């Protein structure tokens, strides 16, 4: 997915694939912020706000969390991000814009292969020149994906809810994307 996003003009840490399971990436100084983009109500959002699962969200909801396992990744608002010096106003503006662009690009990609992008997490870092760069990972481990034909989950929710073999969903996503992208 990073290769696809890079081909769409998104600045990512991805440089090249090295074999089937490894990639060469640019080293980043990661910002301690997780950015969650929600197109539909699901997970904690649906529970927290008592919204029926899979209710479309318009506009798309963008949430921030402090990346700190010891604190259980608490939610952040804009003023907290600035007060804690986690990102500058300019960086946060850029993060918001890139996140929305990534959402559009991935949403269109998944739509083309019969999958609905429910929500996903992004992380950003700064490269050696200080440029904001999309990093970390993009996989069914950090997004919710639903098969449009069957309504079945194709992501980590299969494991969380004990509804099947996690590998089946991941394999479906991989097969559809590689077939569509010609990889």
The answer to whether 138 and 173 have CB atoms below 8 angstroms apart is: no
Query: What secondary structure does DSSP assign to 117-146, as a single string?
Result: EEEEEEEEEE-TT--EEEES--STTSEEEE
Q: Return the residue matching tokens 């010891």.
A: 70
pLDDT for position 106: 97
DSSP state of 83: H
The angle that helices 166-181 and 89-112 make with each other, rounded to 10 degrees, is: 90
pLDDT for position 39: 99
32: containing domain: 2-181
pLDDT for position 159: 61
- Number of folded domains that form the chain: 1
Those residues with Cβ within 8 angstroms of residue 14's Cβ, 6 or more apart along the chain or in another chain: 2, 3, 5, 6, 23, 25
- Alpha-carbon distances, residue 11 vs 8, 49, 148 (angstroms): 9, 34, 30
Compute mean pLDDT per 10 residues along the chain, 183 residues long, and list them. Answer: 91 86 90 98 95 97 97 96 98 98 97 98 97 93 94 79 74 93 86
Q: Return the residue matching tokens 């990889």.
A: 183
Chain centroid to Cα 123, Å, comes to: 8
CATH number at residue 25: 3.30.470.20
């Amino acid at each position: 997915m990073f290769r696809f996003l890079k081909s769409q003009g998104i600045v990512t840490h991805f440089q090249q694939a090295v074999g089937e399971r490894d990639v060469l990436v640019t080293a980043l100084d990661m910002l301690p912020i997780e950015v969650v983009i929600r197109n539909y109500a699901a997970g904690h959002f649906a529970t927290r706000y008592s919204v029926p699962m899979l209710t479309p969200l318009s506009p798309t909801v963008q949430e921030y969390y402090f990346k700190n396992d010891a604190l259980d990744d608490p939610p952040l608002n804009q003023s907290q991000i600035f007060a804690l010096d986690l990102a500058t106003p300019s960086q946060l503006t850029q993060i918001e814009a890139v996140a929305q662009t990534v959402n559009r690009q991935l949403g269109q990609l998944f739509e083309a292969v019969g999958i609905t992008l429910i929500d996903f997490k992004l992380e950003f870092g700064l490269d050696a020149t200080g440029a904001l760069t999309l990093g970390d990972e993009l996989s069914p481990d950090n997004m919710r994906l639903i098969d449009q034909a069957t309504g079945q989950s194709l992501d980590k929710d299969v494991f969380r809810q004990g509804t099947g073999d996690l590998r089946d969903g991941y394999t479906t996503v991989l097969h559809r994307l590689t077939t569509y992208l010609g990889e």
